[in-house]
């Protein structure tokens, strides 16, 4: 059974002090729902988290998402909420307001926006989690001020929010699949193709490839990095290949999109200079006439999706509630 | 010496019949200048071509471009011209109005927009030739009606106009270098890198690689295609590699940008089904969850750049002459 939403401790103002013109925001992850009530100035008046158990099936996930939104709607700080922002993973059709598909959440063509609007009584802005996070990083995070940027969370998979002229492009809900660019490693990918960036360079791939190479189980990419520090040549090779694969994908993105800045987020960004220095060097070595972008760590961490969802809700209010 | 502009035969109305609200347009190619006077309905009231001899140096090229614009300005059909559109190759800074660099034209940081405005007395919209052609194909050609498209001229080189939400993206004048995506062939490219699409799949590369492979000089990619028809296995191999390389570049673009349609133009598009059928098959074989775009030939041929330049001029008029 899906864990019922439970409100985490939050700094809750009394209802009569609830800020006017607030929005509510929810970021749906693979194992967690992150919610917030955000005031007109962009400050979170409250943040709430819930566990999510997608193994209970799509219906339970939808119930949990809607319950979380209703819970946020009734939060004392949200008394004057004007809209909700909802960021979800997988394929999203922002025109029809449907969550088309998510492998993790096991849902399939759910009219989630209409359901959310019905349950909350608010206009709901629906978007993709990676693109919501990219929106947050470009407006208020590590890509702030850039007209052209890539925001790339590297975790279990790899995706990108593509920022063009200061806007995150949606591409019919399909744009930004940087993890599925062929970087020449001929490694099979979960998508069915071979050579995809995320089959070599995602945090999950780094752990998996290390284990396959030397038969030793590891506790994620961080563990591989530890072993590299300790002088393990297999760890060193797997790490170097991940950096190389990622540099190839970024070089391609530079040729096509000319970002001024590339923001790397997700679990792998925690590697710090071990990631950023060789990645920048490799990328510089691949580019000729193209501009070398700055490569910087994400600034908003795992709150980016929720902050971006709040921005989407705010944009919806500014558009007078009309879905774009 | 640069060939002085000479007016080609054109259908010239008498001055008193000059359409109101026209624009003039000039597309600067490597060996030719293509000009037009276009009325408010988008119909060319006159078209003019001049030869260009870039080997005479950058100053002579600039002089020729300005002379051609002045010549168009004084064309009887342009008596009521409101703006000019100028499409140039290479790197273009559309914000500052400067032609930053072109290997073919040998120019380097020329304030071409200001010079053109001074000489013509008209507001001038400056843009990139490939993106101007892409604009024309998406508004009036083979990509008409598509929100997301790629327009890819394949000739001496390979580039792309990237259409997102119906607009051609500029990316600081740097976007769309599809020809310099690494497709894994390890072939040296003129840009200094290895593996670039255009080092394998451009019309020039097809001829060059055939000659290198079997020591026989050929008259361009069309000649290689002829030999393929005649059963020449070297021609077959070089052609197949070009198609494969192009399919890899397009697969990457599909992952990042999700175009609904890919328009192929330039000399190679003349190959027809010999190009389009295997290219579409190869691309379909590379994509998994991504949408397979339609791959279609360009509709506007070598007039696309000039038509697009006229559209840029028209957009400038509609913006009240303000450079965007």
User: How is the beta sheet containing B161-164 ordered, strand by strand?
Assistant: B167-168, B161-164, B149-153, B261-265, B294-297
Is position A140 within any domain? Answer: no
Q: Which residues of chain B register pLDDT less than 70?
A: 1-17, 324
Q: Is the pLDDT of residue A55 over 50?
A: yes
d(CA A188, CA B244): 19
Tell me what pLDDT residue B10 has: 47
Q: Enter the tokens of residue B4.
A: 């002085």
Query: Do A108 and A159 have their domain in common?
Result: no
Minimum CA–CA partner of A284 in chain B: B193
- Give the count of beta carbons closer than 10 Å to the beta carbon of residue A207: 19
- Claim to verify: residue A68 and residue A181 sit in the same structural domain: no
Contacts of B212 (CB under 8 A, 6+ apart): none
CB burial readout A252-276, b (16+ within 10 A) else e: bbbbbbbbbbbbbbbbbbebeeebb
Does A152 reside within a domain? yes
Pairing of strands B32-38, B22-28: antiparallel
Task: Inform me whether the C-beta atom of residue A258 falls under 8 Å from chain B C-beta atoms.
Answer: yes
Residues A114, A149, single domain; the answer is no
Is residue B106 a part of any domain in this protein?
A: yes
Q: Is A184 on the interface with B (CB under 8 A)?
A: yes
Q: Is residue A272 part of a domain?
A: yes
What does the pLDDT average to over A275-291? 96
Same domain, B93 and B191: no
Residue A44 to chain B, least CA–CA distance (Å): 32
Averaged pLDDT score across all residues of chain A: 92
Assess contact for B98 and B62: CB atoms under 8 A. Answer: no
Parallel/antiparallel/unpaired status of strands A81-88 and A124-128: parallel
Same domain, A217 and A313: no
Q: Are residues B275 and B211 in the same domain?
A: yes
| B28 located within any domain | yes
CATH of the domain at B256: 3.30.420.40
For residues A224 and A217, give the distance between their C-alpha atoms in angstroms, rounded to a whole number.
Answer: 10
Residues B239/B225, Cβ–Cβ less than 8 Å:
yes
DSSP class of B18:
P
User: Do both B115 and B183 map to the same domain?
Assistant: no
DSSP per-residue letters across A14-46:
PGGGPPSSEEEEEEE-SSEEEEEEE-TTS-EEE
CA distance A172 to chain B (A): 7
Using CA coordinates, name the residue in chain B closest to A164. Answer: B171
What integer is the mean pLDDT of A243-270? 97
Out of B160, B253, B288, closest to residue A192 by CB: B288
Fill in the DSSP letter of residue B130.
H
Among B134, B166, B171, B259, pick the best mutation site for testing chain A contact (most A Cβ within 10 A): B171
Q: Are residues B294 and B228 in the same domain?
A: yes
* Residue B40 belongs to some domain of the structure: yes
Residue B138 lies in a domain: no
For A2-36, what is each residue's pLDDT tens digit?
444 444 444 544 555 677 789 999 999 988 999 99
Tens digit of pLDDT for each residue in A231-255? 999 999 999 999 999 999 999 999 9
Q: Give residue B4's pLDDT.
A: 44
Question: If you average pLDDT over residues A82-106, what whole number do you get?
Answer: 92
B209/B75 same-domain check: no
Say yes or no for a CB contact (<8 Å) between A256 and B169.
no
A197-231 pLDDT, tens per residue? 999 999 999 999 999 999 999 999 999 999 999 99
Strand partners, A25: A36, A85
What percent of the residues of chain A are helix, what percent strand, and what percent coil, each to the nearest 5? Answer: 40, 25, 35
The residue with tokens 């055939």 is B210
The chain A residue lying nearest B166, using CA atoms, is A171
Domains: count for chain A: 2
Q: What is the pLDDT of residues B203-234, one digit of tens each?
A: 999 999 999 999 999 999 999 999 999 999 99
**B174 and A287: CB-CB below 8 Å?**
no
Q: Are residue B183 and residue B222 in the same domain, yes or no?
A: yes
- Domain extent, residue A174, equals 145-299
Residues A241 and A238: their CA atoms lie apart, in Å, by 5
Same domain for B314 and B289: no
- Stretch A86-102: mean pLDDT, rounded? 92
- Indicate whether A91 pLDDT > 90: no
Closest residue in A to B324 (Cα–Cα): A165
Shared-domain flag, residues B291 and B309:
no
Does A287 contact chain B (CB < 8 Å)?
A: yes
Distance, CA of A245 to CA of A183 (rounded, Å): 6
DSSP state of B7: P
Contact (CB<8Å) A288/B251: no
Task: Residue window 26-55, chain B: list those with CB within 8 Å of chain A.
Answer: none
Residue A259 within any structural domain of the chain: yes
Task: Tell me how many degrees the CA angle B222-B223-B227 measures, rounded to the nearest 5.
Answer: 115
């Amino acid at each position: 059974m899906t864990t019922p939403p439970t409100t985490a401790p939050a700094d809750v103002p009394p209802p009569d002090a609830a800020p006017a013109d607030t929005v509510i925001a929810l970021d749906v992850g693979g194992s967690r729902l992150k919610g917030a009530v955000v005031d007109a100035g962009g400050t979170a008046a409250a943040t709430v988290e819930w566990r999510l158990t997608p193994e209970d099936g799509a219906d339970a996930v939808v119930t949990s998402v809607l319950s979380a939104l209703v819970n946020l709607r009734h939060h004392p700080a949200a008394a004057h909420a004007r809209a909700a922002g909802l960021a979800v993973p997988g394929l999203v059709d922002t025109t029809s307001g449907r969550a088309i598909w998510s492998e993790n959440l096991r849902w399939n063509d759910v009219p989630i926006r209409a359901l959310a609007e019905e349950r909350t009584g608010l206009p709901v802005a629906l978007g993709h989690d990676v693109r919501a996070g990219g929106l947050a990083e470009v407006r208020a995070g590590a890509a702030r001020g850039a007209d052209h940027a890539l925001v790339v969370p590297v975790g279990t998979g790899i995706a990108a929010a593509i920022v063009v002229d200061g806007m995150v492009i949606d591409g019919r809900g399909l744009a930004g699949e940087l993890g599925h660019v062929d970087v020449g490693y001929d490694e099979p990918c979960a998508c069915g193709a071979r050579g995809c960036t995320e089959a070599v360079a995602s945090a999950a791939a780094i752990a998996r490839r290390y284990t396959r190479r030397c038969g030793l189980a590891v506790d994620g990419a961080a563990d591989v990095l530890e072993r590299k520090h300790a002088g393990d040549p297999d760890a060193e090779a797997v790490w170097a290949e991940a950096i190389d694969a990622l540099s190839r994908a970024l070089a391609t993105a530079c040729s096509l999109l000319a970002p001024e800045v590339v923001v790397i987020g997700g679990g792998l960004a925690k590697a710090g200079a071990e990631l950023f220095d060789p990645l920048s060097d490799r990328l510089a070595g691949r580019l000729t006439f193209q501009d070398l972008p700055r490569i910087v760590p994400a600034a908003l961490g795992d709150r980016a999706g929720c902050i971006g969802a709040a921005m989407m809700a705010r944009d919806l209010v500014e558009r007078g509630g009309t879905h774009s």
